[in-house]
């Protein structure tokens, strides 16, 4: 379950803007704010089943988007490469270049 | 028109997997393969108007996806940062580190 939660959270970071109204809203309340289905249902005055359906559909969509665009997978690969680059840069004797490179690598890493 | 063609081509690179059947197909024939609306219509035995409608909808979707996910904009920013990093790395006195970094930066750039 924790594994699933982590995956959904990660995918949500990348694809949230593509999800539609209720799907995005309920998914966020359930996974990010950790409310129960019952609590979300009560809050929105809808059935528990309706909340469940929206969340399940939203989950499916997140996994479908990832299958098509691979943003999370590419993010991970990029971060791994950046980490290798950072380690080499750390060891550079040229202090000025090292600091400049570290600043740029930090920017690059944050962008992702 | 060339500007528009370039934009659509760029966005197509990022979002093509999200487009549906005919929309993707006609857009590709029109923008990437440079066929005319008439030629596509004849090839698929549909009206010129139908081809036009699918292409227009596909274009709108590409621009909407970019508005939401900004993949093309981020790509451009990342490439600009990578270019600055590459220029500093080129000047490094430490030949071994330089070559290792260049190889990793190349991988990073290609991934995007």
- Nearest chain B residue to A20 by CA: give it: B68
Res. B59: pLDDT tops 80: yes
ipTM: 0.86
Flag if B108 and A81 touch (Cβ within 8 Å): yes
Other beta carbons within 10 angstroms of residue B51's beta carbon come to: 26
Q: What is the mean pLDDT of residues A84-108?
A: 93
Q: Which of A59-63, A107-111, B2-6 has the lowest mean pLDDT?
A: B2-6
Chain B neighbors of A92, CB-CB under 8 A: 92, 94, 97
3-state secondary structure chain A: CHHHHHHHHHHHHHHHHHCCHHHHHHHHHHHHCCCCHHHHHHHHCCCHHHHHHHHHHHHHHHHHHHHHHCHHHHHHHHHHHHHHHHHHHHCCCCHHHHHHHHHHHHHHHHHC
pLDDT recorded at residue A82: 95
- Shortest alpha-carbon distance between residue A111 and chain B (Å): 7
pLDDT recorded at residue B1: 61
Flag if A111 and B84 touch (Cβ within 8 Å): no
For chain B, domain boundaries: 2-69, 73-111
Class of domain B2-69: mainly alpha
Flag if B108 and A85 touch (Cβ within 8 Å): yes
């Amino acid at each position: 379950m924790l594994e699933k939660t982590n995956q959904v959270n990660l995918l949500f970071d990348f694809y949230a803007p593509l999800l539609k109204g209720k799907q995005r809203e309920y998914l966020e309340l359930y996974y990010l704010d950790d409310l129960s289905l019952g609590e979300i249902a009560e809050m929105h005055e809808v059935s528990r089943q309706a909340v469940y359906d929206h969340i399940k559909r939203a989950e499916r969509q997140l996994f479908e988007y990832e299958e098509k665009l691979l943003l999370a997978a590419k993010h991970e690969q990029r971060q791994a490469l950046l980490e290798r680059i950072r380690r080499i840069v750390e060891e550079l004797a040229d202090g000025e270049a090292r600091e400049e490179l570290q600043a740029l690598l930090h920017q690059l890493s944050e962008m992702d």
